[in-house]
Amino acid sequence: MMTNNRIRIAMQKSGRLSQESQALLKQCGVKINWNEQRLIAYAENMPLEILRVRDDDIPGLVFDGVVDLGIIGENVLEEEELARTSAGEQVSYKKLRRLDFGGCRLSIALPREMPYQSIQDLNNARIATSYPNLLKRYMQQQGVKFKNCLLTGSVEVAPSAGLATAICDLVSSGATLEANGLREVEVIYRSKSCLIQRALPLDEEKQALVDRLLTRIQGVQQANE
Ligand code: PRT
Ligand code: ZN
């Protein structure tokens, strides 16, 4: 693989985190020529390049040291970390900073009319989710058994389609649950986006640039407070 002296940062190409990730770099004074079609974008005023990928790929790229930095939702980060550790892999990375965008919660929701007292009511129920590892961790902590229905999209229609009793999905405003006749009964994880760095040390120059970038991010966050 080609090595270069630029910091390589992975960001979501298009989706809920992409605009704010781009805006954050801009606020930090990084000038980038964005070309919608390109996988890689280069900064004009510092040795930094941006790899634009699906958010799901970002944790792995950082864990594997393919990129130096990543901006990613904690939900996706922890899900991938749990998936790898439960497969017996060692995972290491550094969380540099929690960011101010991408806030959401991972929640269990049920058909509105279904009675619910506590999580025990879901003993042996089938739950549809795209986050099987975060759900499993939570259910284990609660001591409740469940059956998985793994869906990477359209999770909210699983109960009405007869695929599952309940769902475990991301919620921000709650409008999607409402529109699908579901009600939120347990919040199992609260997430924001974050900046992560690979565990393998960077050379001195690169680390100095990362440190500078981090100081600027802190400045931007304080200014927005
Ligand atoms: O294509 P790619 O794989 O990169 O993107 P994606 O479609 O997997 O992810 P994307 O862009 O939808 O979300 C990226 C990240 O944004 C998530 O991993 C979260 O960290 C964060 N985020 C914040 C959210 C939401 N809020 C959110 N509301 N991600 C998804 N949603 C969805 C949720 O799944 C549900 O379908 O929005 C719907 C609920 O929203 P409300 O407002 O109706 O409650
Ligand atoms: Zn994704």
pLDDT digits (tens, 9 = 90+) for 118-139: 999 999 999 999 999 999 999 9
Going by pLDDT thresholds of 50, 70 and 90, the confidence category of residue 3 is: low
Q: State the Rg of the chain over Cα.
A: 20
Nearest CA to ligand 1 atom 1: 54
Which stretch of DSSP H or E encloses residue 195?
A: strand 193-198
Q: pLDDT at position 36, please?
A: 80
Q: What percent of the chain has pLDDT over 70?
A: 99
- At CA 197, angle to CA 63 and CA 135, rounded to 5? 55
Is the distance from CB of 131 to CB of 106 less than 8 angstroms?
yes
Order of all β-strands in the sheet with 7-12 = 40-42, 48-53, 7-12, 69-73, 193-198, 93-98
The mean pLDDT value for 25-48 works out to: 93
Residue at token pair 């998936």: 83
The 3-state DSSP class for residue 48 equals strand
pLDDT of residue 84 exceeding 60, the answer is yes
Looking at per-residue confidence, does 97 or 2 come out higher? Answer: 97
Determine the distance from the C-alpha atom of residue 157 to the mean position of all C-alpha atoms in its chain, rounded to a whole number.
Answer: 22
Is the distance from CB of 168 to CB of 144 less than 8 angstroms?
no
Cα 153 to ligand 1 centre (Å)? 10
The mean pLDDT value for 159-175 works out to: 98
Instruction: Report the pocket of ligand 1 as residue ranges, CB < 6 Å.
Output: 12, 15-17, 54-56, 73, 75-76, 102, 104, 169-176, 191
Mean pLDDT (the chain) is 96
Neighbours of ion ligand 2 (CB under 5 A): 55-56
The mean pLDDT value for 47-70 works out to: 98
pLDDT of residue 1 exceeding 60, the answer is no
Q: What is the reported pTM?
A: 0.96
Q: pLDDT at position 5, please?
A: 87
Q: Which of 53, 75, 104 to mutate to test the pocket of ligand 1 (most atoms within 8 A of CB)?
A: 104
| Distance separating the N- and C-terminal Cα atoms of the chain | 42
ipTM: 0.99
Classify 88 in phi/psi space as left (phi over 0), alpha (psi -120 to 50) or beta.
left
